[in-house]
């Protein structure tokens, strides 16, 4: 799986590659075969509605790494994740921040949160799993050096920005229209956000009171090919 991520260019930095090599994905998707669990470009649905519509999944590792790379998580950082899901991404984040860092993840669904909490604890991953509306962030452990949202949204929560340190980074999948979802990397520069990176992705929509409009739609050609379009990175606001 990791070799495929490297060939795709999804995983590039030694830290992200090492994290994916270290954290076992099958632990978080026990009902999937090992072949499916370690497919680099496969999202695995873990919760559906009565009509069979997926509402929670373990994101494809290719999409995860494409968001983690521009997030630029370093040892010792404090990270907030919105949307725990299976807990796999939180475990990767815990590996990236190391023992001196801290990861807080928020999940709306109490049963998903409880399952993720148990699996993370069994792995010895020091992650604080909270049950609540991720739109509100997690003020009690703020401020954060990094914030990552793992659910599609049509707007940014003010809480995510306010709980982010100046110079910190926020990666969020934004719905821009039917079939068009882009994870944008923002850097907080005082009272403004500057974009640093834009990719293509597909995430389950945020649930809860602040879910916003549902802009889901299948691409016209049915393709789900992962690709990246990076914007030039200006000098960091922390040094400008």
In Å, how far are 72, 89, 107, 138 from 208, measured between CA atoms? Answer: 29, 21, 10, 16
**pLDDT of the residue at 176:** 73
Residue where the block lists tokens 């992962």: 226
Find, among 49, 25, 65, the residue nearest to 207 by Cα: 49
Q: Give 24-64 pLDDT, tens digit per residue.
A: 999 999 999 999 999 999 999 877 667 766 566 788 999 99
What is the spatial distance between Cα 72 and Cα 15, in angstroms, rounded to a whole number? 9
Give the residue, 6 or 207, on which the prediction is more confident. Answer: 6
- For 97, the domain range is 72-229
Residue 115, in any domain of the structure: yes
Q: Give 66-113 pLDDT, tens digit per residue.
A: 999 999 999 999 999 999 999 999 999 999 999 999 999 999 999 999
What confidence tier does 231 reach under pLDDT thresholds 50, 70, 90?
very low
The stretch 196-214 carries a mean pLDDT of 57
Active-site residue 59, yes or no? yes
Q: Residue 102's domain is classified under what CATH number?
A: 3.40.50.150
pLDDT, averaged across the chain: 84
Q: For residues 143 and 169, is the Cβ–Cβ distance under 8 A?
A: no
Pairing of strands 164-177, 144-149: parallel
Q: Give 139-167 pLDDT, tens digit per residue.
A: 999 999 999 999 888 889 999 999 999 99
Residue 24, in any domain of the structure: no
Find, among 7, 10, 1, the residue nearest to 226 by Cα: 10
Residue 42, in any domain of the structure: no
State the total domains in the chain: 1
- The pair of three-digit structure tokens given for residue 145, joined into one six-digit string: 């050096």
Q: Catalytic pick from 39, 56, 59, 157?
A: 59
Residue 144, in any domain of the structure: yes
Instruction: Answer whether residue 177 shows pLDDT above 90.
Output: no
Residue 123: Cβ within 10 Å count: 17
Residue 163, in any domain of the structure: yes
Give the residue, 48 or 136, on which the prediction is more confident. Answer: 136
Residue 12, in any domain of the structure: no
Instruction: Answer whether residue 227 shows pLDDT above 80.
Output: no
Residue 210, in any domain of the structure: yes
pTM metric for this prediction = 0.83
Work out the angle between the directed axes of helices 88-97 and 14-22 (0-180°, nearest 10).
130
**pLDDT of the residue at 48:** 64
């Amino acid at each position: 799986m990791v070799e495929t991520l490297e060939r795709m260019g999804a995983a590039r930095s030694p830290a992200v590659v090492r994290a994916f090599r270290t954290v076992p994905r099958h632990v978080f998707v026990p009902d999937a075969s090992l072949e499916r669990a370690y497919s680099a470009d496969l999202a695995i649905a873990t919760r559906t509605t009565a009509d069979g519509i997926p509402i929670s999944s373990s994101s494809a590792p290719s999409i995860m790494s494409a968001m983690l790379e521009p997030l630029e998580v370093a040892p010792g950082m404090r990270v907030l994740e919105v949307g725990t899901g299976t807990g796999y991404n939180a475990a990767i984040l815990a590996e990236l921040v190391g023992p001196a860092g801290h990861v807080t993840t928020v999940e709306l669904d109490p049963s998903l949160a409880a399952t993720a909490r148990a699996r993370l604890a069994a792995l010895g991953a020091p992650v604080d799993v909270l049950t609540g509306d991720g739109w509100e962030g997690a003020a009690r452990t703020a401020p954060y050096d990094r914030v990552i949202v793992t659910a599609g949204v049509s707007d940014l929560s003010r809480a995510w920005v306010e709980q982010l340190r100046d110079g910190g980074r926020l990666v969020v999948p934004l719905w821009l229209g039917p079939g068009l979802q882009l994870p944008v990397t923002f850097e907080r520069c005082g009272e403004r956000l500057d974009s640093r990176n834009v990719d293509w992705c597909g995430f389950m929509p945020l649930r809860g009171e602040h879910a916003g409009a549902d802009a889901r739609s299948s691409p016209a050609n049915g393709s789900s090919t992962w690709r990246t379009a990076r914007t030039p990175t200006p000098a960091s606001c922390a040094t400008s």
